[in-house]
Amino acid sequence: MKRLVLAAFAAGIATTWSAAGTAQTAPTPDQIVAGLKQNLAESQKKLRTYEWTETTAISLKGEEKTRKQQRVLYGADGKPIKTPIGAAPAPKPEPSGGRGGRVKGRIVENKKDEIQDYMEKAVALIHKYVPPTSALIQKAKDAGNLTVKPPQDGKVRAEFKDFVQKADLMGIDVDAKALQLLGLNVATYLEKAEDAVTLDVRYATLPDGTSYVAKTTFDAKAKNITVTVENAGHKPIGR
């Protein structure tokens, strides 16, 4: 009986040590930050040798309103160059029917201008988060705004609060072993906190290991606007 008790006690200690060892294998905040910064820098450098097709679709109240495709590659200055693919859609004819038709036409044009202005602000906001910059990642970590969740299903979730602006929250899913960025989502806002918007970004990997943004979904529920941007067809420049 005494031997059984001792064996059970020893097994308990072994289990505790094993659990502690497993916990120690989880990446630390410093390791996550270093891994993210390295992965982002290497991928951005490799992406400069590729060209691809970007497809942007804008939907209002669930109905797709516009869709466009652009060829994307990086210029010598390190900034993306986007060239439209295909002909632009033909403009719709002016509404007829006298004064009533003209008034309706002006209302439609004003609405278009309002949406266009909103989308320009939305795109500018997206670019502040995607891809996340090394400088902002380090700044958030140094400010104590980084929280690392326990590993689950081979992934670690890192959450950054006040990442770009006060009261926003960006969550990044990282491969627990390779420390490679798998995806991110953001809860933020445009000019006012009540104008809440969300971002969901999915990453994919090219055969040479280059990580890239495969799909970005921007959702502005208050405006009933959804924007999706997909990147595909990557190939080395000149091929």
The two structure tokens encoding residue 151: 């590993």
Domains of the chain in start order, with CATH, are 38-88+104-236 (2.50.20)
Residues of the chain scoring pLDDT < 70: 1-25, 87-111
The two structure tokens encoding residue 99: 């004064």
CB 128 within 8 A of CB 190: no
CA nearest to 190, candidates 218, 149, 157, 159: 218
Cα distance between residue 128 and residue 153, in whole Å: 29
- Report the interhelical angle of 134-142 vs 29-47 (nearest 10°): 170
pLDDT per residue over 91-138, tens digit each?
555 555 555 555 555 665 666 777 788 888 888 898 899 989 999 999
Cα distance between residue 122 and residue 17, in whole Å: 50
pLDDT score of 87: 63
pLDDT score of 13: 31
Calculate the average pLDDT of the chain: 82
Cα distance between residue 192 and residue 118, in whole Å: 13
Element (H, E) at 88: none
pLDDT per residue over 172-190, tens digit each?
998 888 878 899 999 999 8
CB 191 within 8 A of CB 173: no
